[in-house]
Amino acid sequence: MAQEEEIKFIVLAAGKGKRMKSQKPKVLHEIFAKPLLAWVLDSIEQLPYESESIVVIGHGAHDVEEYLNNNYKYAKTAHQAQQLGSGHAAAQAVPIIDKFQGMVVITCGDTPLISSQTLNELIKYHKENYSDLTVMTTKLENPYGYGRIIRNHKDEIIRIIEQKDATTDQQEINEVNTGVYCLDWAKIRKAFNDLKNDNAQGEYYLTDIVKWARDNQYKVLGYVAKNSEEIYGINSRRDLAFVTSVMNKRYLEELMNNGVTIVDPNSTFISPETTIEPDCTIFPYTYIEGKNTIFKNCKVGPQAHIRGNCEVGEGCKIGNFVELKNAKIAKNSNVCHLSYIGDANIGNHVNIGAGTIFANYNSITKEKKVSTLQDNVSIGSNSVIVAPVEIGHDAFVAASSCITKNIEENSLAIARAHQREVKNWVNKNKETTDES
């Protein structure tokens, strides 16, 4: 339940991400079919506060804004026409929350591992210590490239110094800036009017709000995030692969701790948005993306692909080289190898033979239709179910049938050409070939 206090979030998502080598905005690159930005916004949404997010967009603004309008209608956008640094980006949100009197958190849109728990701990630390500006920091074994945190004898932060400007002694500091800030907006808001770009890059640095706050006698503290992986930002395809592996490994360990057998964690990828109940077995080379629910005692794979919005009932078997999308499968049903099940409602004790395809998409109208199979239906191998059709209880579809009409319960449907045999066809053709 949301607390009465309202918090505003400024999410920095304007960067191009040159090292991604892509026309797509960096924050729209995906992990488990979900954009980086969405992972951050969902962590914010899970916090126990009334919150509003202002997403600062720039490169590829039209695409990012369209995505937000389609998926996060509550989020507002601020445009950074020119990328003039992180401080300049955050300042673009100022007019939207200018008169706000509460707490503001600034975070990055390219850190998909950031958790609601860590954000909540930052906010609690800020409030409990009566801080005016709190910097989220973390400690790294190898802090190279990160801004170092400089503290005084009171353990307050007095400065953030970038790698290139740090002395040899300062480079030995392993506490670094994560780019996440929690601030008392009424006090720190004025800092964004006073930021300067008198540096070699000619940019406005967000880190300069620390110096501004100290110069104006405000209390600046640092909250040390326990899990340094959460602050990992995506700047390249290698970063994307690394964060995907971290997210995946973390969730696979959670699943195994909760009673799910993962036969080979090194070859299995499962989205954290998929729920899998105990006593399921996930075989190697299975890839599961999006939001799905797999109930207990199921077997999935090897080499299965579940693409989102699927429910797999208790005791089901999803065979090798099977693909599911937007499918609801009830208890004790089998989907055998080399099958595609899309936009389907499948009952209990249904057997879908190998090589079965649900043809659910009309490429002319761009529409997808749903097919329904009632309990105890049996589909013979190499069949095509052309949506929308409904197959009644205990019906049987003969192998290699193309089903385009509804089938009544307890019926056998055969939809294929009659087999014809031309005797001695091979020998006759051989004779013709020899003569030529």
Distance between CA atoms of residues 74 and 52, nearest Å: 7
Q: Are 294 and 277 in contact (CB under 8 A)?
A: yes
Within 13 Å, how many C-alpha atoms sit on residue 310's CB side?
A: 25
pLDDT at 419: 86
pLDDT at 165: 85
Question: Is residue 153 among the annotated active site residues?
Answer: no
CATH number assigned to the domain comprising residue 46: 3.90.550.10
| Sign of the four-CA dihedral 278, 280, 286, 290 | negative
Contacts of 227 (CB under 8 A, 6+ apart): 115, 118, 138
Q: Which residues of 288-327 are buried (b: 16+ CB within 10 A; e: fewer)?
A: bbbebebbebbbbbbbbbbbbebbbbbbbbbbbbbbbbbb
Would you say residue 254 has pLDDT above 50?
Answer: yes
Same domain assignment for residues 289 and 150: no
pLDDT, the chain, mean: 95
Same domain assignment for residues 30 and 67: yes
- Domain around 166: 3-231
Same domain assignment for residues 269 and 218: no
Catalytic residue selected from 59, 153, 305, 337 = 337
The C-alpha angle 237, 241, 245, rounded to 5 degrees, equals 165
How far CA 394 is from CA of 185, 310, 335, 360, in Å, comes to 65, 23, 16, 22
CATH number assigned to the domain comprising residue 355: 2.160.10.10
pLDDT at 228: 95
Would you say residue 1 has pLDDT above 50?
Answer: no
Distance between CA atoms of residues 243 and 251, nearest Å: 12
Distance between CA atoms of residues 256 and 194, nearest Å: 52
Q: How far apart are the first and last CA of the chain?
A: 85
349: left (phi over 0), alpha (psi -120 to 50) or beta: left
Which tens digits make up the pLDDT trace of 116-127?
999 999 999 999
pLDDT band at 312 (very low <50, low <70, confident <90, very high): very high
Same domain assignment for residues 332 and 383: yes
**What is the share, in percent, of the chain residues with pLDDT greater than 90?**
89
CB burial of residue 143 (10 Å; 0-12, 13-18, 19+): buried
The total number of structural domains that make up the chain: 2
pLDDT at 198: 82
pTM of the model: 0.92
pLDDT at 105: 98
Q: Is residue 421 part of a domain?
A: no
Q: Is residue 430 part of a domain?
A: no
Q: Are 182 and 103 in contact (CB under 8 A)?
A: yes
Residue 100, SS3 per DSSP: coil
